[in-house]
Amino acid sequence: MKIIDIIQTNNNNEFLHEELIELNEGWSFYALLKLNSSIFVGWLINDDLLIVNGDGIFLYDIESKNIIMEDYESNFKKNLSTDNLKYSLKERDENIDVFGLRGGGGNLLTIENDWKLEIINIHNNYKIPRLMNYKTRKSWFFELHEISYDGYMYCGFSKTQKYFLVMGDQGINVFKRNF
């Protein structure tokens, strides 16, 4: 069943008259990371991205859009805090806040309180990410690229808040601020 079918069959749904759109007003799709079954992710200080999935540990360079480190051998649990909220990345000498299946929630509000991210469960585990501008109160229910709208989904802004991501069980979509 498609999201639009679910939206149209539920008369009381707030999404009934909304369309899934490409973001605008300063945000756009930036990159797709096809790494299935991510367990958790974390933003580094420079907005690079730590990704841990069932296959290994990866470091994604946000500027070059390339995976710059792959480790298929290490046990990620040895560098994960006991509360699942921090990951110690020895290669960068950095403790990273992590979120996902293991970890906390991502940063859902920008520092200036202009932008808010959330995942809305519209029906029976079908979810739509929403970006809201707090100043204008305008919201966007936006399209994901090659990621399903069902299953688990997490989101969060980067440290500099120039980026945000939506992580699902089929990969990660990264979006960029254009201003």
Q: Are 129 and 141 in contact (CB under 8 A)?
A: yes
Domain boundaries, the chain: 3-177
In this structure, the strands spanning 57-61 and 49-53 are antiparallel
Query: Which amino acid is present at 71?
Result: D
Strands (E) across the chain are located at: 27-33, 38-43, 49-53, 57-61, 66-71, 86-89, 94-100, 115-123, 126-133, 138-141, 153-157, 163-168, 171-177
pLDDT at 52: 94
- Give the containing element (helix H, strand E) for 45: none
pLDDT at 175: 96
d(CA 112, CA 124): 34
pLDDT at 42: 96
Question: Mean pLDDT for each consecutive 10-residue tract of the chain (179 residues)?
Answer: 54 53 80 92 96 93 96 90 93 93 90 92 84 87 87 94 94 92
d(CA 44, CA 82): 20
pLDDT at 5: 57
Closest Cα to residue 175, out of 95, 85, 110, 126? 110
d(CA 137, CA 168): 26
33-85 pLDDT per residue, tens:
998 889 999 999 999 999 999 899 999 999 999 999 999 988 899 999 999 99
pLDDT at 1: 47
- The pTM of this model reads 0.88
Sheet holding 171-177, edge to edge: 27-33, 171-177, 163-168, 153-157
